[in-house]
């Protein structure tokens, strides 16, 4: 009887593990420099800055957008730009696109992607060295 109970517990435990697999674990996982892990399907977006430095963007295993950049040619750690949804329920669901605007003496950077609600969302940095503005959700909510 003890062996039967042990077998039932083992089967239930293994079934629980199978159910507990998250979408991120089910997706193909890739490794980026600096210990970053990301969803392979979305890749790493590499971006050159006008001052000769570089930055990268990726969709992490948490389906948030992450970035890192170089300072004096040395990479920083990865920093989360958060989830591309005001409620926090939607997640990144596409690769990341980057657009630069160097007009009027500034260097504005916009990143765009689609979230799991199907909306195209963006986040903006108005100038080098400035922080990122909150996510923009046009036609949302």
53-89 pLDDT tens trace? 999 999 999 999 999 999 999 999 999 999 887 677 7
For residue 26, the model assigns a pLDDT of 52
Does residue 55 form part of some domain? yes
Strands (E) in 41-107, as ranges, are 44-48, 54-59, 65-71, 74-75, 79-82, 97-101
pLDDT bracket for residue 15 (50, 70, 90): very low
Number of structural domains, the chain?
Answer: 1
User: Is the CB of residue 61 less than 8 Å from the CB of residue 29?
Assistant: yes
Does residue 75 form part of some domain? yes
pLDDT 10s digits, 29-54: 999 989 999 999 999 999 998 888 99
Does residue 16 form part of some domain? no
Look at residues 118, 110, 116, 117 and name the one whose alpha carbon lies nearest to residue 135: 110
For residue 3, the model assigns a pLDDT of 44
The residues that bridge with 122 in the sheet, in sequence order, are 112, 136
pLDDT at 1 over 70: no
Does residue 84 form part of some domain? yes
Longest CA span, the chain: 79
Indicate the pTM of the whole model: 0.76
16 conformational bin, left if phi > 0, alpha if psi -120 to 50, beta if neither: alpha
Please state, for a pLDDT cut of 70, what percent of the chain lies above it.
79
CA 7 to chain CA mean position, Å: 40
Domain containing residue 110: 28-125
For residue 140, the model assigns a pLDDT of 55
The phi and psi torsions of 40 (rounded to 5 degrees) equal: -55, -40
pLDDT 10s digits, 123-137: 999 888 889 999 987
Overall residue count recorded for the chain in this entry: 141
Does residue 139 form part of some domain? no
User: Is the CB of residue 101 less than 8 Å from the CB of residue 119?
Assistant: no
Does residue 135 form part of some domain? no
Provide the 8-state DSSP code for 52. Answer: S
């Amino acid at each position: 009887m003890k062996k039967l109970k042990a077998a039932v517990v083992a089967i239930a435990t293994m079934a629980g593990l199978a159910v507990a697999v998250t979408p991120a674990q089910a997706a193909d996982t890739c490794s980026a420099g600096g210990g970053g892990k990301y969803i392979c399907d979305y890749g790493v977006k590499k971006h050159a800055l006008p001052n000769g430095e570089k930055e990268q963007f990726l969709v992490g295993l948490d389906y948030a957008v992450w970035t890192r950049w170089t300072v004096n040619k040395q990479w920083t750690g990865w920093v989360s730009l958060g989830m591309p949804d005001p409620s926090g329920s939607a997640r990144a669901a596409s690769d990341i696109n980057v657009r630069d605007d160097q007009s009027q003496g500034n260097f504005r950077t916009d990143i765009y992607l689609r979230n799991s609600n199907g909306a195209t969302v963006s986040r903006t940095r108005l100038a080098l060295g400035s922080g990122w503005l909150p996510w923009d959700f046009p036609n949302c909510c």
